[in-house]
Amino acid sequence: MSYKVPIIDYPTHYHRLESEIDAAIKEVLSRGDLILREQVSQLESNVASFVGVDYAVGVNSCTDAMHLSLRAAGLGRGDE
């Protein structure tokens, strides 16, 4: 079986929402709300609600997401 995952066309999506994205970035950067602030908390609540769970945690990378997922599953150093 051969299936190719399509590559996301970021420029097209960006241009479609450019004014909204730029306004949100400008607002966050002008206030210095980069971590543990209103938009992050709101995003986490929205994601948790969307997937039907009580909590969600925003992280800065896929590596952090995988690390937290493995820890939440009870896996630690040396586990296979």
pLDDT of residue 79: 86
Q: Confidence class of residue 28 from pLDDT cuts 50, 70 and 90?
A: confident
Mean pLDDT over residues 48-62, rounded?
94
Mean pLDDT over residues 15-41, rounded?
87
pLDDT of residue 3: 87
3-class DSSP state of 38:
helix
CB atoms within 10 A of CB 47: 14
Tokens of 57: 């945690």
Residue 21 has pLDDT above 90, yes or no: yes
Mean pLDDT over residues 1-16, rounded?
90
Tokens of 2: 């051969």
pLDDT of residue 11: 94
pLDDT of residue 26: 92
